[in-house]
Amino acid sequence: ASAGGDTLTHTQVERREFVPARAPKDFADVLQRIPNASDSGAQVRIEQYERTFVVYIGGTVDGTLGSSPQPWDMSSNVAALGGDPAASEHAVRQAMTESGITPRDSVILVGHSQGGLIAMRIAQASDVSASTVITAGAPIHHIETPSGVSVVSVEHADDLVPALSGPRAESASGAEATSTHYVRRTALAGK
């Protein structure tokens, strides 16, 4: 995949062999299926169960800011946090299209860090029928949860990445303003 400056030049989608997958058995299984930088460069994994697709999206690969051939870079982080199109979102959308996902299909989006941010941005789109978003360590505190979408955000209270989106949005009564459910713990407790 390649992005240059403010203009996305192209995205390469490599279709791998179809391999039957069993449905995830629990949250830990779901989160373990998110691709990481060691997964031969793949940052998107898509599984299909009947007419439901699960789209797993990895986190930032390239920590440099500026023009990069890697869509999962800091430029995509900055763009997505600001509500602008990101090269990584374009790459995920292209992978979804090439996997045969249509607006009629139910989609579950799962992402780590930047992948969680991109999952929320895709869930907001009118051309995607997202039912659920699951994030881990993602900066999503001020992203509006789309109507009818269940969101579970797993994060460490002392993790800088979720904090990049600011404090969680609260209503006038002091309660959380969204239907997003946060699962939190302190990573450095007792250290």
Are 59 and 137 contacting, i.e. CB atoms less than 8 angstroms apart? yes
Predicted confidence pLDDT, tens digits, the chain (191 residues): 333 333 344 455 566 666 778 889 998 999 999 998 765 678 999 999 988 999 999 999 988 887 778 899 999 999 999 999 999 999 999 999 999 999 999 999 999 999 999 999 999 999 999 999 999 989 998 888 888 999 998 887 776 676 677 666 554 444 444 577 878 788 776 65
Say how many C-beta atoms besides its own lie within 10 A of residue 166's C-beta.
11
Distance, in Å, from the CA atom of 138 to the CA atom of 115, rounded to the nearest integer, reads 7
Question: What are the residues facing 2 on neighbouring strands?
Answer: 10
Hey, CA dihedral for 105, 25, 58, 186, is it positive or negative?
positive
Q: Is the distance from CB of 55 to CB of 119 less than 8 angstroms?
A: yes
